Amino acid sequence: MTFTVPIDNGDSVRIAEEESQRTLYPYVTGTSIVAIKYKDGVLMASDMGGSYGSTLRYKNIERVKAIGKHSLLGASGEISDFQEILRYLDELTLNDNMWDDGNSLGPKEIHNYLTRVMYNRRNKLNPLWNTLVLGGVKNGKSYLGMVSMIGVSFEDDHVATGFGNHLARPILRDEWHADLSFEDGVKLLEKCMRVLLYRDRSAINKLQIAKITEEGVTVSQPYSLKTFWEFSSFHNPTAGAEGSW
Amino acid sequence: MSQSSIDLPPKGGFSFDLCKRNDMLTQKGLKAPSFLKTGTTIVGLIFKDGVILGADTRATEGPIVADKNCEKIHYMAPNIYCCGAGTAADTEAVTDMVSSQLRLHRYQTGQDSRVITALTLLKKHLFGYQGHVSAALVLGGVDITGPHLHTIYPHGSTDTLPFATMGSGSLAAMSVFEAKYKEGLTRDEGIKLVAEAICSGIFNDLGSGSNVDICVITKGHKEYLRNYMEPNPRTYVSSKGYSFTKKTEVLLTKITPLSERVEIVEVAGEAMEE
């Protein structure tokens, strides 16, 4: 049984002729994903928005999905490419199950597969326009890694994509430590997601936090964060500077 | 009385005369010279008794650190200070200019300068130059009407805020502020939060680095804490100091006046022109 790898036929030839045969820019995009390793596994947070340029078109997109028994995949970037990647992973896990040998694909294997797919597509100048976050637990070991649309891939204790790189990473670098409890982990993720909500224009106040442990995957129901707007200078911002704004 | 030409006073603002020439040169392939930027993290916040400003101390020229310990918190008035990000020459020149204007104004009115005066002078100048004066400023001070904190963008727009960040490290610093700022902070809490925000910029942004400068302004009193924190010391400094073995030896101590060896010829009429 051949192991299928998705490839595009003759793309390099057609590129010269038809620009419409490759991805030039993304259309419907998801914003940041923030994920951390904690005591029992991995926690991943994302909001549920899909922007169409500067319009908030879709408000119910699940950007974190379970893959097999051991992994969680979160994606930011083009939503249609994310759906395509989920299809590839479906095919992959199906073929793996058909061997029927008791083995199941762990997070490390899935991460490696995704790295090859992303890098391969990038080399054909036809990328899948996503930054993917792969988290999972297998045989007691937690794993958290990231792959970008150009094939840059690495593992870390905490990752963030998109705007999260600039706004969430400083907080995670300062406040993450090994063996966080579940409550502390969620509090840390919510802190990051709140800052993103204030300062990322494509973020919405409807988020999901997904947890993966040795037992399996749980994706929370969508909920909102509390925000604070009651600073006294917000009430009357031009108190000392009449005529300005 | 001649009525031929009325002498118009010189108009202020940007003169676009050389833009066409610059366009032509870039089309011919000439690369425009790069600017010394301050690739920066600057912050300000309002606390219980006044304003605290903070800045990092790295000045970059493209990928190179040009100045490891520059001063980004500029004096405007005894009760007003201004942090500057963007092109170093622009921030320096514009704050110096407005500082002089404020001083002359103080002599004329006999009163302490107000923060909105500095704000209006700065934004008028920057708007007139349509964003070509690349100065992004955080202006803070305490005057007779209370503590004030403003941000000014290169194109001339301003914001009045309880906490503000500017520069390339502004997102890293803003994430600290958004997570931890409260109203009514004490002086020590405020300094700690500002130092944390600048450190966040220093360690997470490549354009910012080196040390933390802080300036605390309260009613009637200011404290300029230069190099308040130095979180990037030189790592390996030899405790023995450095000594270099002498590679030169004295061979001869006889002095030969050169005028004995040289013939001096006076040439008339070819002396150096003044």
ipTM of the complex: 0.76
Which is more confidently placed, B185 or B15? B185
Report whether pLDDT(B229) > 60: yes
pLDDT at B36: 59
Q: Per-residue confidence at B37, pLDDT binned at 50, 70, 90?
A: low
Point out the residue among B162, B175, B183 whose CB comes nearest to the CB of A170: B175
Q: Is any Cβ of chain B less than 8 angstroms from the Cβ of A171?
A: yes
pLDDT (tens digit per residue) in B70-88: 999 999 999 999 999 999 9
A32 CA: distance to closest CA in chain B (Å): 15
Q: Per-residue confidence at B239, pLDDT binned at 50, 70, 90?
A: confident
Q: Which of A158, A163, A166, A200 should be substituted to probe chain B, the one whose Cβ sees the most B Cβ atoms within 10 Å?
A: A166
SS3 of chain A: the string is CCCCCCCCCCHHHHHHHCHHHCCCCCCEEECCEEEEEECCEEEEEEECCEEECCEEEECCCCCEEEECCCEEEEEEEEHHHHHHHHHHHHHHHHHHHHCCCCCCCCHHHHHHHHHHHHHHHHHCCCCCCEEEEEEEEECCEEEEEEECCCCCEEECCEEECCCHHHHHHHHHHHHCCCCCCHHHHHHHHHHHHHHHHHHCCCCCCCEEEEEEECCCEEECCCECCCCCCCCHHHHCCCCCCCCCC
Closest CA to B187 of B48, B14, B1, B24: B48
Whole-prediction pTM? 0.78
Average pLDDT over residues B147-161: 92
Q: Do A168 and B175 touch (CB under 8 A)?
A: yes
A241 contacts on B by Cβ (under 8 Å) = 115-116, 119, 148, 150, 158, 160
d(CA B132, CA B93): 13
A231 CA: distance to closest CA in chain B (Å): 7
Nearest chain B residue to A189 by CA distance is B179
Which residues in chain A (177-196) have CB-CB distances under 8 A to chain B?
191-192, 194-195
Q: Do B160 and A195 touch (CB under 8 A)?
A: no
Percentage with pLDDT > 90 across chain B: 60
Average pLDDT over residues B161-167: 92
d(CA A160, CA A36): 9
Report whether pLDDT(B95) > 50: yes
Q: Could you tell me the two tokens for A236?
A: 């009357």
Q: Do B178 and A237 touch (CB under 8 A)?
A: no
Q: Is any Cβ of chain B less than 8 angstroms from the Cβ of A18?
A: no
State the count of interchain CB pairs (< 8 A) between A and B.
72
Active-site hit among B26, B38, B40, B117: B40
Active-site hit among A23, A31, A93, A227: A23
Spans of chain A, pLDDT less than 50: 1, 15
Average pLDDT over residues B133-156: 94
d(CA B66, CA B51): 30
A195 contacts on B by Cβ (under 8 Å) = 174-175, 178-179
Closest CA to B184 of A236, A238, A239, A231: A231
pLDDT at B1: 47
Confirm whether B40 is a catalytic residue. yes
A245 contacts on B by Cβ (under 8 Å) = 158-160
